[in-house]
Amino acid sequence: MKVQLKQSLCDGFGTCAKHAPEVFALDEWGYASVIGDGAVPAGAEDRTRRAIVDCPVNAIIEIVEEPPKAAAE
């Protein structure tokens, strides 16, 4: 699982970091950023999905990576 944060939408509620502190960090003003490249550590998927649902401004999206297609022969 991987997430992306639209920082221009973030209003600094901090709900995401409350639910998934291993995925989201807050700056000194309370605005969120994604830690690392947005990859969610194993075991944090449910908490991260809760953070996505609870974000009052819908600033977090889950990146859905499609498996590579088989090459045509």
In a domain, 54, yes or no: yes
Residue 73 domain-assigned? no
Type of residue at 31: Y
Q: Would residue 23 count as lying in a domain? A: yes
What are the φ/ψ torsions at residue 26 (nearest 5 degrees)? -110, 140
Tens digit of pLDDT at every position of the chain (73 positions): 999 999 999 999 999 999 999 999 999 999 999 999 999 999 999 999 999 999 999 999 999 877 777 766 5
- pLDDT for 31: 96
Query: Residues near 9 by Cβ (< 8 Å), separated by ≥ 6?
Result: 57, 58, 59
pLDDT at 69: 76
Task: Classify residue 20: in a domain, yes or no.
Answer: yes
**Separation CA 64–CA 72 (nearest Å):** 24
69 occurs within a structural domain: no
Count: domains in the chain: 1
Residue 8: which CATH number? 3.30.70.20
Can you give the pLDDT at residue 66? Answer: 75
- For the four alpha carbons of 13, 63, 45 and 43, in that order, the dihedral sign comes to negative
Asked if residue 26 is part of any domain, the answer here is yes
- Provide the domain limits for residue 46: 2-63
Q: What share of the chain is helix, strand, coil (3-state, %, to 5)?
A: 20, 20, 60
